[in-house]
Amino acid sequence: MSQVVIAGGGTVGLATAVFLGQHGIPALVVERRTRPSVHPRALGISPRTLELFRSAGLSEAIDAVAVRSAVPGKADARTVAEIDRTQPSRAPRFAGGDLSPETPRGHYSQDRLDSVLLPAARERGATIEFGVAVTGVEQDAEGVDVELSDGRTVRADYLIGADGVNTAVRGGLGIGTTGPGEIGDPTLNILFGADLVGHFGSMPMMIEISHPDAPGMLLAVGEGRWVFHTKPPADGRFTDETCAATIRTALGADVPLEVISVLPWRATIRMADQFRSGRAFLVGDAARAISPLGAFGLNTGIADAHNLAWKLAMVVTGKAGDRLLDSYHEERHAIAEMVTEQAMLRLANPRLHWDPAAVAERTAAGAWYAPMVTMGYRYESSAVMGPVPPLPSTEDVVASLDGAPGSRLRHRWIAGVSTLDLVGPGFTLLTGSGEWDDAARALDLPVMRIGGDWPESVGIDDTGALLVRPDAFIAWRSLKADADTLPAVLAAVTGRKNGAVG
Ligand SMILES: Cc1cc2nc3c(=O)[nH]c(=O)nc-3n(C[C@H](O)[C@H](O)[C@H](O)COP(=O)(O)OP(=O)(O)OC[C@H]3O[C@@H](n4cnc5c(N)ncnc54)[C@H](O)[C@@H]3O)c2cc1C
């Protein structure tokens, strides 16, 4: 069995181990920290990220750690005490029954996600070593030597750098970066415990505080814990006491509270020039860090993890050629560029993100509606048999999930099962016709038969078919029965054959 080493046991590293384990690949994860981070950090999880966890059998476990509130959405106030409770809080509605089988149910803080992913990775065969850092990387044609801080050198078939924005793996591979680096002002991310619901009554999930001495964002992270993102004092020095005083100003009330931890940070924009170098790959913030407005950072990292895991699994089990691994960079680098641009547009004008109705403003600015950024995009790569048509819309997600090659399969409930649930761990053929059965059987390709008006909804006739990848993206669309072409197409999109299909 191939040895895959993952540097970094943050949320993306753990998710990579889960997704690999789902395919029977047991990874070794080495994490520099001595235990998982207690800091919540990212809270906003997209329906697409929930779909990826669903595909790994983690729907219920992830749902159980969601932090719900009686008052969803965002409020704006000078202090918490001054919230106008007669006004409905603003909540961008980014989910939808006709888009996805999954709907986010609140905040999913990274510490709570990690509490699911860590045991899930172990259950799927991963070994996770805390207190061990990657200190050096050397590779040749046959493998990667991964030097560890405890003096060991592990010989791996593949190395995945999930070691965050200051990645040692990226540096060790000599991969350059583009982007301005740290942007914006330094910020304090203060995690504290307080009975705010007991004091104020029900609380919105997010409150933007405008008090001049304590401006910032207050976020619910569950079990009487809250996070306040705010500016550090002018001299940059802070203690638990100064943080507590700032929070009390933001609350507008003298509520008992305990500061649990303080994370100073600055938004960073930095992109690796290559996400693949030989037998090594970068995922998550190691591949690209983006500004937080839009909540795209973690979601993009989890999508990287999933995209790489199924491809690596197919290659190490001999079901795909090495060329499939090139498509990891081709696809995820292009998406990282798109997401970075979308996050930057939101940084310049937050209304583009927070106001779903700001369609004209978004269109004028070149900004996409948020669910388009996380699930409406299209891949153009060697793992998709094009042509990939341009997006019909940057606002209408349903219209964009139209069955085109490179797009995510359209979700539809059929007898209580989502079409996304029909997609297997390998490639799957979806068709309304039995004309593909023999060719698919010869290729050991599962066929899912869906009739009725479904073929038309994905742009094919009754005899056509969609070849769907393990990530539910469409690798090929045949408008009509064309089973003779199937072997060549499958070989091409799995990197087992170079060149045109005909
Ligand atoms: C305050 C804050 C708020 C945020 N809010 C959001 C949000 O709302 N939505 C969103 O999507 N994103 C958000 N983000 C971004 C999000 O947190 C990151 O995108 C996410 O943490 C990236 O995960 P990762 O696993 O790639 O990297 P990290 O979380 O940085 O994990 C990397 C891990 O690698 C370990 N490591 C580092 N070097 C080594 C080494 N040499 N060897 C071994 N291990 C190593 C580190 O200890 C760490 O555990 C936020 C970030 C911050 C800081």
What is 167-187 written as a DSSP string? Answer: -HHHHHHT--EEEEEE-S--E
Task: Pick the residue whose CA is nearest to atom 30 on ligand 1.
Answer: 164
Residue 418 and residue 433 in contact, taking contact as beta carbons nearer than 8 Å = no
Tell me the HSE value of 115 on the side-chain side, using a 13 A CA sphere.
13
Residue 2 and residue 316 in contact, taking contact as beta carbons nearer than 8 Å = yes
Q: Over the stretch 246-283, which tens digit does the pLDDT of each residue have?
A: 999 999 999 999 999 999 988 889 999 999 999 999 99
- pTM for the full model? 0.95
Q: What percent of the chain has pLDDT over 90?
A: 82
For ligand 1, the distance from its centroid to the CA atom of residue 256, given in whole angstroms, is 30
* Lookup: tokens for 464: 């056509």
Residue 168 CA: which ligand 1 atom is closest? 41
Say which range, 52-61, 150-159, 310-319, 344-353, has the weakest mean pLDDT: 344-353
Task: Pick the residue whose CA is nearest to atom 51 on ligand 1.
Answer: 41
Task: Pick the residue whose CA is nearest to atom 7 on ligand 1.
Answer: 42
Q: Over the stretch 33-55, which tens digit does the pLDDT of each residue have?
A: 999 999 999 898 999 999 999 99
Residue 440 and residue 423 in contact, taking contact as beta carbons nearer than 8 Å = no
Average confidence (pLDDT) over 229-238: 90
How high does pLDDT run on average in the chain? Answer: 93
**Closest C-alpha among 397, 440, 450 to residue 419:** 450
Handedness of CA 324, 325, 329, 332 (dihedral sign): positive
For ligand 1, the distance from its centroid to the CA atom of residue 230, given in whole angstroms, is 19
* Lookup: tokens for 443: 């290729």
Say which range, 29-33, 89-93, 237-241, 469-473, has the weakest mean pLDDT: 89-93
For ligand 1, the distance from its centroid to the CA atom of residue 186, given in whole angstroms, is 17
Task: Pick the residue whose CA is nearest to atom 5 on ligand 1.
Answer: 42
Q: Is the pLDDT of residue 27 over 90?
A: yes
**Closest C-alpha among 429, 446, 314 to residue 22:** 314
* Lookup: tokens for 21: 């384990």
For ligand 1, the distance from its centroid to the CA atom of residue 197, given in whole angstroms, is 29
Q: Is the pLDDT of residue 500 over 50?
A: no
CA–CA gap between residue 290 and residue 111 (Å, rounded): 20
CA–CA gap between residue 348 and residue 357 (Å, rounded): 18
Q: Over the stretch 43-98, which tens digit does the pLDDT of each residue have?
A: 989 999 999 999 999 999 999 999 987 676 778 899 999 988 766 555 555 545 68
For ligand 1, the distance from its centroid to the CA atom of residue 361, given in whole angstroms, is 31
Bridge partners, 206 (sequence order)? 74, 219
473: number of Cβ within 10 Å: 21
For ligand 1, the distance from its centroid to the CA atom of residue 132, given in whole angstroms, is 17
CA–CA gap between residue 502 and residue 500 (Å, rounded): 6
Confidence of residue 105 (pLDDT cuts 50, 70, 90): confident
Task: Pick the residue whose CA is nearest to atom 3 on ligand 1.
Answer: 41
In 149-287, which ranges are E strands? Answer: 153-156, 158-161, 177-182, 187-194, 204-209, 216-222, 225-230, 257-265, 268-272, 276-277, 280-282
Q: Rounded to the nearest 5 degrees, what angle is found at the Cα of 99, between the Cα atoms of 98 and 101?
A: 85
Testing ligand 1's pocket by substitution, the residue of 268, 285, 290, 374 carrying the most ligand atoms inside 8 A of its CB is 285
Residue 287 CA: which ligand 1 atom is closest? 26
Kind of pairing between the strands at 225-230 and 257-265: unpaired
What string of H, E and C letters represents the secondary structure of 272-306? Answer: ECCCEECCEEECHHHCEECCCCCCCHHHHHHHHHH
CA–CA gap between residue 493 and residue 381 (Å, rounded): 9
What is the number of H-type helices and E-type strands within the chain?
Answer: 16, 24
For ligand 1, the distance from its centroid to the CA atom of residue 305, given in whole angstroms, is 13
Q: Which residue has the tokens 């964009």?
A: 400
Is residue 192 helix, strand or coil? strand
**Closest C-alpha among 290, 303, 399 to residue 48:** 303
Buried b (16+ CB within 10 A) or exposed e, 413-433: eeeeebbbbbbeebbbbbbbb
For ligand 1, the distance from its centroid to the CA atom of residue 302, given in whole angstroms, is 11
Quote the pLDDT of residue 97. 62
> Which residues sit with their C-beta closer than 6 Å to ligand 1?
7-13, 30-33, 37, 41-44, 110, 133-134, 162-164, 168, 189, 265, 284-286, 292, 295-299, 301
CA–CA gap between residue 13 and residue 150 (Å, rounded): 20
For ligand 1, the distance from its centroid to the CA atom of residue 11, given in whole angstroms, is 7
Task: Pick the residue whose CA is nearest to atom 31 on ligand 1.
Answer: 10
- Spell out the domains of the chain, with CATH numbers in brackets: 4-67+105-179+268-343 (3.50.50.60), 69-102+185-265 (3.30.9.10), 378-493 (3.40.30.120)
For ligand 1, the distance from its centroid to the CA atom of residue 54, given in whole angstroms, is 22
Task: Pick the residue whose CA is nearest to atom 6 on ligand 1.
Answer: 42
Q: Which residue has the tokens 């990775």?
A: 121
CA–CA gap between residue 173 and residue 82 (Å, rounded): 52
For ligand 1, the distance from its centroid to the CA atom of residue 297, given in whole angstroms, is 9
CA–CA gap between residue 317 and residue 444 (Å, rounded): 15
Testing ligand 1's pocket by substitution, the residue of 39, 41, 182 carrying the most ligand atoms inside 8 A of its CB is 41
Task: Pick the residue whose CA is nearest to atom 20 on ligand 1.
Answer: 298
For ligand 1, the distance from its centroid to the CA atom of residue 88, given in whole angstroms, is 33
Quote the pLDDT of residue 210. 96
Torsion of CA 483, 484, 488, 494, to 10 degrees: 20
178: number of Cβ within 10 Å: 13
Q: Over the stretch 390-425, which tens digit does the pLDDT of each residue have?
A: 999 999 999 999 999 999 999 999 988 999 999 999
Task: Pick the residue whose CA is nearest to atom 26 on ligand 1.
Answer: 284
Task: Pick the residue whose CA is nearest to atom 28 on ligand 1.
Answer: 164
Task: Pick the residue whose CA is nearest to atom 13 on ligand 1.
Answer: 42
Handedness of CA 398, 402, 405, 409 (dihedral sign): positive
In total, the chain counts a number of residues equal to: 502
Q: Is the pLDDT of residue 207 over 60?
A: yes
